[in-house]
Amino acid sequence: MHSNRVVIAGGCALAFGASFANTGFVLHTGTSVSHLTGDIAKLTIDIASWSPETLAEAYRVAAAAGFFFCGAVTAGFLIHHPTLDLSRPYGRTVTGIGALFLAAACLVTRSPLVSIGLAGFGCGLQNAMANHYRGIVLRTTHLTGMFTDFGVNLGMKARGHGIPTWKIAVPLLIILSFCLGGACAVVSQKSGWDTVAIAGAAYLIAGIGWSIWKHGVLLPRERGRSSQAMDAIEE
């Protein structure tokens, strides 16, 4: 019950939002909350070269990683489906991510460790919202998987395999959206705006808007189509 345009637009919006929020956290705290590979490598370095300064950094990375994992577990429990299905409570989930980002924005100066944990939880929640869409693994908080899908499909297309164009275009669009989100966050930060709070407010509005549209327009439309199909079968 979903259109390709809605799914692609949603994926691009989430990638933009995650990058926007994550860049804000990197600028504020030096710690990433949306992707962990590099920070985990930093954590191992900090452990190997133990000092009071590296201990503080290790705590921040551990908070981001631990709460990211908890967010993914929560998404699995609440959405409980391995593939993308727009009938799932994505609107409420995005609204919850917005609330987490807003709370994180309020605490980023006074209690950066708690703030990083809240934002990491939100990013973990987002990254696990949907797993597979038509053979592509949708991950919107980091680009490793998207670059892999983009490169593999582009290579197979160049080799002459019958790879649909959308399998190349979708990862590319998400990559571009992620890059644009980071660039906009830098501009926002330099302009003196609270980047993390802006991200939280945008997620909150988007989540509520999606829920209203889904229940007011999308689901009734789908029920109408199903009813018409049943009537046609009976005739």
Considering the domain boundaries, does residue 233 fall inside one? no
pLDDT the model gives residue 1: 42
Entry pTM:
0.86
Tokens of 216: 């007011």
| In the predicted structure, residue 232 carries a pLDDT above the cut 60 | no
Asked if 54 contacts 171 with a C-beta cutoff of 8 angstroms, the reply is no
pLDDT-based confidence at 116, cuts 50/70/90? very high
Considering the domain boundaries, does residue 215 fall inside one? yes
Structural domain count, the chain? 1
How far is it, in rounded angstroms, from Cα 213 to Cα 162? 36
Considering the domain boundaries, does residue 234 fall inside one? no
- Label residue 131 exposed, middle or buried (CB < 10 Å: 0-12, 13-18, 19+): middle
Considering the domain boundaries, does residue 187 fall inside one? yes
How far is it, in rounded angstroms, from Cα 82 to Cα 131? 6
- Residue 120, domain extent: 4-227
Asked if 140 contacts 7 with a C-beta cutoff of 8 angstroms, the reply is no
Radius of gyration, CA atoms only, the chain: 20
Considering the domain boundaries, does residue 128 fall inside one? yes
Considering the domain boundaries, does residue 232 fall inside one? no
Considering the domain boundaries, does residue 235 fall inside one? no
pLDDT digits (tens, 9 = 90+) for 158-204: 999 988 988 899 999 999 999 999 999 999 999 999 999 999 999 99
CATH number of the domain where residue 74 is located: 1.20.1250
Considering the domain boundaries, does residue 130 fall inside one? yes
